[in-house]
Structures are given as structure tokens and as C-alpha cells.
Amino acid sequence: YVDPGTGKEIYCQVFIACLPYSDYSFAMAVKSQKTEDFLYALSCCLQELGGVPQALVPDNLKSAVTKASLYEPDINRAMEDFANHYNTTVYPARARKPKDKALVENQVKLIYSRVFARLRNQQFFDLSSLNQAIKEKVRDHNQTRMQQRPYCREERFIADEKHLLAPL
């Protein structure tokens, strides 16, 4: 987005999440990958979903995992407290195991082409207006019929996955 006072571009990070069965997606821009921004985006995701999944599978970024390990990764203390607060479990994706996060990697590709490519010619002056535009485009993405499937992500989420989420 652009700082209205100076006209300088301010770069931000993108948080993308998806549910495994319905492939229902969530995306938002945050200032950085710092722990507080990561946990804020994750809490916004859970609010948007209207519930908490049984497990969270983050990538091995420092905001979630202090030490990546194939067998016993060390979870960041703040992430652990977050998971305890929401009564869920954290299973970080294994290092160098792309199959652990194949769904979200595909969503990253789709979100960039269906959301950010469509917003590239617009100018935003704050993070909240950028996130509002992202939210609208992600909603359109979730409501688009999937190829070779008689449903969209949102329909499958509401019908088959939403009731499995724990309350917030």
C-alpha cells in the first residue's frame, strides 16, 4: 500500500490459510512475519471461519516454530499459548516435506492469481482498505465453482466442515 503522506510504497506480508477438506481459503496482508502479526492474522482467520480446527499446521517460520525438527519441533511459546487458548494443537509442517503443505501451497498460487493479480492496478492507502479488498476477492474465490466439481469451496465448507470446528 502507499503512505498517503509521503507517497512511499509500504511492503507487507501475506498470510494465507486453507482448510483441508473443503479447500476453503483465508488471506490477509500484515505488516511483517513477526509473531504478533502472525498470531493476529491467525486469530482473524479463526474468527472468519467461525470456529477452531482440531489442529493447526503452520510452516516452519520463526513466528510459530523456534526449532524445526523432523520428530520433535519446538513450538514458539506465544504460538503454544495461542493454541492452548483456543484448545487446539500445533503440528508444524516437516522441513523439506512439501506434501505436508501441498494444499496451502496450491492456495498461495490460486490466491495470487485470483486475488492479488486483480488488485494490482488499484492503489491502497492503508492496510485495512487493502485487507477489505483482499477479503472481497477471497470471498469471490471461495464462491467460484471448482473445475470438474458440482460445488464451490464455500458450499463444501458450510455443508461438511464448519460443524466440525470447535467453538471460539
Averages of pLDDT over each 10 residues, the chain, 168 residues = 87 90 92 91 94 88 72 81 91 70 81 88 91 94 86 92 91
Contacts 24+ apart (CB under 8 A), 76-85: 76/35, 78/35, 78/36, 78/39, 79/35, 79/38, 79/39, 82/39, 82/42, 82/43, 83/56
Q: What is the pLDDT of residue 148?
A: 81
pTM of the model: 0.86
Residues 6+ positions from 79 with CB-CB distance below 8 Å: 35, 38, 39, 58, 63, 64, 65, 90
In whole angstroms, how far apart are CA 138 and each of 18, 57, 85, 98, 128?
A: 11, 21, 27, 24, 15
